[in-house]
Amino acid sequence: MKTNIKRMSGCVATANAVKLANVDVICSYPIRPYTGIMSELARMVADGELDAEFVLGEGEHGQLSVVYGASAAGARAFTGSSGVGVTYAMEVYSPISGERLPLQMAIADRTLDPPGDFGSEQTDAMCCRDQGWIQGWASTPQEALDMTLMYYRIGEDPRVLLPQYACQDGYFVSHILGEVDVPSQEQVNSFLPPYKNHHVLDTRNPQILGAQMEPEMGPGTQYQRHLAVEGTYKVIEEVHDEFGKTFGRKYDPWLEEYMTDDAEIVIFMQGGHTETAKNVAMHLRNLGEKVGVVRLRTLRPFPTKQVRECLKRFKVVGVVDNSVNFGISCGAGVLLTEARAALYNNDEKVKTVGFVAGLGGSMITHDEFYKMFNILKEVNKTGKIEKQSYWAPFEL
């Protein structure tokens, strides 16, 4: 298979995917670190490489409103944001998914205020996890490109019709260069056909969208949305399988396992910091330690069955959250809560320990991962959990 390998950042890789997807409408508002996606797309439109309507929003709420209307009118639409920009648009996310509009939003993670720095953490996107959107994290620029294409194909499937958050860690993925195999337009056209909307705004066939409803209509509407999200599992698996056949890159849609065949202890996490965890696991393997790493690729819908079947094979699982959830059960984060829920009522008794790390854009260092594995090794040795969770680096 002919390849076109280039070195590019996660932002530029995403922009290339949006171009290959032949989007119709793009709405931009700058906020670091996702801005690199839009600056590259603006260049493509200005240079005639991409025939799309490029709209400058007056803010993130306006951004989502523009692509909301564009998608309802039958356009393949794209937008994105980071940090407080993601939360500023919160009001619009639920209506978009409720009206089954499969637009896509890139999120290059950035910490919220305070501390108000420009660093990466996943809190912004995690705030959106229950809005009825498909959501997952890329760990490399290559995966950022591939995820963008797959998410459009999944979301636009008539059996799904849901929007998507294609997430990547700010700076650690969005700005660091990696080798990316950029597919040809012909390949992408065979995988991602032109978008055909299921309901288009049309003056000849007027429809009311977003109308206020009576309270008794609410439960049925929300149940329909529940069924829509629950119905995506099969389509997600089909699209990943077809992507592998078309482009030669095979991804498990739910989980990536690294050195887990005979592992007793694993780290479970999502996003680009997983690459550092893999390096530490490989070194510990060379020292004879039975350790590994499991990366969650899709957060919504959460793959409960797949996570259960995977994690129950190990004796101790350390769950790393790169977000803050103040007051949450056991003091860690969403991934720890989800992992424990998936394992609940399982006959196999798996011990779990939570870690919160990499906040405010700090690295999750090799040393921190070594300390996490040492804590897990002690739990495996003694069978006792001294603390439910640890905040790095302060409590390691």
Task: Assess whether 202 and 290 both reside in one domain.
Answer: no
What count of residues does the chain have? 396
Q: Which of 247, 265, 292 is the last residue of a domain?
A: 247
pLDDT average, residue stretch 181-206? 89
Q: Would you say 323 and 345 are in contact if contact means Cβ atoms under 8 Å apart?
A: no
Task: Assess whether 30 and 128 both reside in one domain.
Answer: yes
Using one digit for the tens of pLDDT, what is the confidence trace for 292-319? 999 999 999 999 999 999 999 999 999 9
The CA distance from 255 to 303, in Å, is 9
Name the phi and psi angles at 93, rounded to 5. -65, -45
Burial 53-77 (b: 16+ CB within 10 A, else e): ebbebeebbbbbbbbbbbbbebbbb
The CA distance from 266 to 285, in Å, is 12
Of 90, 131, 147, nearest in space to 272 by CA: 147
Using one digit for the tens of pLDDT, what is the confidence trace for 270-287? 999 999 999 999 999 999
Task: Assess whether 285 and 386 both reside in one domain.
Answer: yes
Domain count, the chain: 2
Task: Assess whether 33 and 79 both reside in one domain.
Answer: yes
Residue 396 lies in a domain: no
Residue 50: CATH number of its domain: 3.40.50.970
Using one digit for the tens of pLDDT, what is the confidence trace for 321-331? 999 999 999 99
The CA distance from 135 to 363, in Å, is 23
Residue 271: CATH number of its domain: 3.40.50.920
Q: Would you say 164 and 76 are in contact if contact means Cβ atoms under 8 Å apart?
A: no
The CA distance from 282 to 214, in Å, is 57
Reduce the DSSP state of residue 94 to 3 states and report it: helix
What is the dihedral angle through the alpha carbons of 172, 173, 176, 182, rounded to the nearest 10 degrees?
170
* 240 Cβ contact partners less than 8 Å away, ≥ 6 residues apart: 150, 250, 251, 252, 253
Task: Assess whether 206 and 346 both reside in one domain.
Answer: no
Question: What is the structure's pLDDT at 153?
Answer: 98
Which structural domain, as residue segments, surrounds residue 369?
Answer: 255-391
